[in-house]
Amino acid sequence: MAEITEMTPEEVRTFREEFDLTKAELSERLGSALRTVEDWEAGRRQSPSMLRVALAAIARELSPWCATPKLCPSSTIDDVGQVVRKMFARLGDDHVVDLSDLFERCLSSDATPAERLLLAHCMEISDGYNRVDPLEEWSSRPMKGWHTSMAFRPEIDGVRPSLGFETRHDNVAKRMAVFIDTHRPGERLPEKLRTETALVARGVRVISLSANDVLVDGESSKETIETVLSEMAEEVLCEAGQISHAWKRPDRR
């Protein structure tokens, strides 16, 4: 790592002018007093060497660091937003901007914290062969080729699960509906059973997760979805004549 040296008054002034900031705006971004910035530029006070790091963060429009909250059933949209930003940041600068933008376009404005977190976890999942393609509109999913598509709150046979998936190889396709159960979660209420039974009768896989489970252990929820997607992809390839035997989970063999 290169040595971080102190900045000259000219460098401080050049940075501010290059980014079209007034002295007051720069002091606000840094959380310092206006007089401090004035003293740095006038040479009356030597700026700290870490000012270079702070200005680099401003140049890249990074948000001030704060500890990522530990999610729980009462977590808010803002809490989930911090966790999602950290998740995407691990993917690298070039990829995170595109993925974050697509994530926001796929979401509905009234998405719950659990829905936001689950979608974020699923933006980069795989069906065992291919990355899942997140779509803004369920109706735009491809009807040919070899794909697994995902959409937020799609209409699948008259119902709108939180997430919908379709694994396809040309004319062979299988779908999955993922519900986040918020109404008396865990209870097998008649309306829930009717919805799930109707979907299963049409060949749609159904996963029901509680909001609490998603918020407390989103990674486990993601793994559950990914496992079923892998099984669906195997079945599609087998029915399409691409493989001779489809992999199944041990509990379904």
pLDDT at 251: 66
pLDDT at 61: 81
Tens of pLDDT, residue by residue over 27-57, are: 999 989 999 999 999 999 999 999 999 999 9
Beta-sheet pairing, 172-181 with 163-169: antiparallel
Ordered by start, the domain boundaries in the chain are 9-59, 77-252
Question: How would you class 176 by CB atoms within 10 Å of its CB: exposed for 0-12, middle for 13-18, buried for 19 or more?
Answer: buried
Q: Is the pLDDT of residue 1 over 60?
A: no
Task: List Cβ neighbours of 7 (8 Å cut-off, separation of 6 or more).
Answer: 40, 47, 49, 51, 52, 55
Task: Choose the CATH number for 9-59 among 2.60.120, 2.160.20, 1.10.260, 1.25.10.
Answer: 1.10.260
Locus of tokens 């040919």: 144
Q: What percent of the chain has pLDDT over 90?
A: 76
* Residue 127 near residue 236 (C-beta atoms within 8 A): no
Q: Is the pLDDT of residue 187 over 60?
A: yes
Nearest to 214 by CA among 124, 134, 113, 92: 113
Task: Kindly report the pTM of this predicted structure.
Answer: 0.76
Tens of pLDDT, residue by residue over 92-113, are: 666 667 888 999 999 999 999 9
- The pLDDT confidence band at residue 185, using thresholds 50, 70 and 90, is confident
**First and final CA of the chain: distance in angstroms?**
54
Question: How would you class 171 by CB atoms within 10 Å of its CB: exposed for 0-12, middle for 13-18, buried for 19 or more?
Answer: exposed
* Residue 39 near residue 79 (C-beta atoms within 8 A): no
